[in-house]
Structure 1
Amino acid sequence: MKVYEPVNLAMPLAKELDEIIMERGGVPDGETVRRILKEFGLEEACLGRGVTVFRNGDVIALLLPRGDVLMVDIIPASGELSDALEVIAYRDKQLNAFIVEILPANDIEYEGNIGLEPAIIDAETLELESSPVLGHFEEDEEGLFLVIDRETYERWKESESTDTCPVCGGELAWKGEGAYCRDCGYRVKVVRE
């Protein structure tokens, strides 16, 4: 997995969090998320007073576990806050569901909807009730691309939004099992797992 900018970390982290919630029936604790961030190649830089800071050469992540709400703020190492994202996982008591969403730090400059929609997981059945398009990023000679599995693609297809880029909300051009976004330049590839 490649992490060069906040979206490269936010999407796989959100996917991992929704899988943990569906498996365990609750928002993961800070220790679990610390382990995940290390597995994603980030180095723990600071731990103290309920906040953990992670980094690599391109991004800085702040882990903020607060009881049944988990937040991870992801900032480019350049400090450009307009590209910063927040991954948040919590239980919505009104909906009786767990929510995992990726929010831009600056709604004014960022018009996209990362992942197209949040992961909404029924708190009783632990089944996914929405169609988030989440995966991880890999790199080849043409650059970075988002890898999604067949199950994610089928849910996305049912939502009738496969022409919308899950990274920036722009327009996708499909060719076979892959697509290219005309706005942000990211590619999307569907893999069989």
Structure 2
Amino acid sequence: MKLYEPITLAMPLAKWIGNFIMERGHLPSGEDVRETMKSLGLEEICLDKGLAVFRGRFLIALVFPRNGNLVIDVISSSGELSDALEVVAYHDKKIEAFVVEILPTNDLEYEGNIGIEPIIIDEESLELESSPVLGYFEEDEEGMFLVIDDETYERWNEADDIHTCPICGGELAWRKEKAYCADCGYGVKVVRK
């Protein structure tokens, strides 16, 4: 997995949080997040009450687990805030569901929600109630791709939205199992099991 830009960490992190909730029925603890960040190759550089800071070659992540919510800010190590993202996970008692969202700090650059829609998990059944398009990133000779599994693709296809880029909201052009976005330069690749 390549961690070049905030999006390359935020999307797999949101997917991991969603899977964690569906398996265990609660938000991950600060310790769970710490272990996952380390497994992704990030170095823990600060740990204080209610805050952990992680650093990679190109990214910095700030983790704030508090009051039943989890907030992870991901910024470029250059300090550039225009592409910074925030992964927010919480239990919404009003809709009786867990919600995981990726929110851009720059609303002008990203017109919609990253991943097309947030992860929404029913608090009772722990089943997914939305169609998020999340995965991890790989680079090959054709460029950088968001890699999704066939289950994610089928859910996305049923929502009739496979021509909308899950990264920037632009238009995707499909060629077999790969899609290309001229707006953001990322692609989407479907990996079948």
TM-score range, shorter chain: over 0.9
Match of 1:91 in 2: 91
C-alpha distance in 2 between matches for 1:74 and 1:155: 27
C-alpha distance in structure 1 between counterparts of 2:173 and 2:16, whole Å? 27
Asked if 2 retains the 8 angstrom alpha-carbon contact of 1:82 and 1:110, the reply is: no
Map of 1:126 onto structure 2: 126
| Other-structure match for 2:7 | 7
Looking at structure 2, the residues matched to 20 and 166 of structure 1 have their Cα atoms a distance apart, in angstroms, of 21
Equivalent-residue separation in structure 1 for 2:13 and 2:72 (angstroms)? 9
Per-residue deviation, 1:105: 1.3
CA distance in 2, matches of 1:17, 1:173: 29
**Residue 72 (structure 1) shift:** 0.3
Matches within 5 A, 1:75-154: 75-154=75-154
**2:23 matched residue in structure 1:** 23
* Whole-angstrom CA distance in 1 between matches of 2:129 and 2:179: 25
Q: Which runs of 5+ in 1 are unaligned?
A: none
Unmatched segments (≥5 aa) in structure 2: none
- 1:69 maps to amino acid: N
Contact 2:170 2:181 in 1 (8 A): yes
Distance in 2 between the 1:191 and 1:110 partners?
26
The one-letter amino acid paired with 1:71 is V
What pairs with 1:59-70 in structure 2 (closer than 5 Å)?
59-70=59-70
How far is the alpha carbon of 1:142 from its aligned partner?
2.2
Corresponding residue for residue 57 of structure 2:
57
CA offsets 1:111-149 (integer angstroms, 9 cap, x no match):
242100000000000000000000000111222111000
Aligned pair count reads: 193
User: For the Cα contact (< 8 Å) 1:112–1:170, is it kept in 2?
Assistant: no
Greater shift in the superposed pair: 125-134 or 40-49: 40-49
Distance 1:105 1:184 in 2: 17
1:72 partnered with 2:89: no
- TM-score w.r.t. the length of structure 1 is 0.97
| 2: CA distance, partners of 1:111 / 1:137 | 21
**Secondary structure of 1:81's partner?**
coil
- 3-state SS in 1 of match to 2:82: helix
Amino acid at match of 1:9: L
8 Å contact from structure 1 (residues 72, 87) kept in 2: yes
Match for residue 176 of structure 1?
176
Cα distance in 1 for partners of 2:86, 2:72 equals: 6
Whether the 8 Å CA contact 2:110–2:169 is kept in 1: the answer is: no
TM-score by length of 2: 0.97
Partners of 1:170 and 1:184 within 8 A in 2: yes
2:36 — aligned with what? 36
Contact 1:133–1:148 (8 Å) recurs in 2: yes
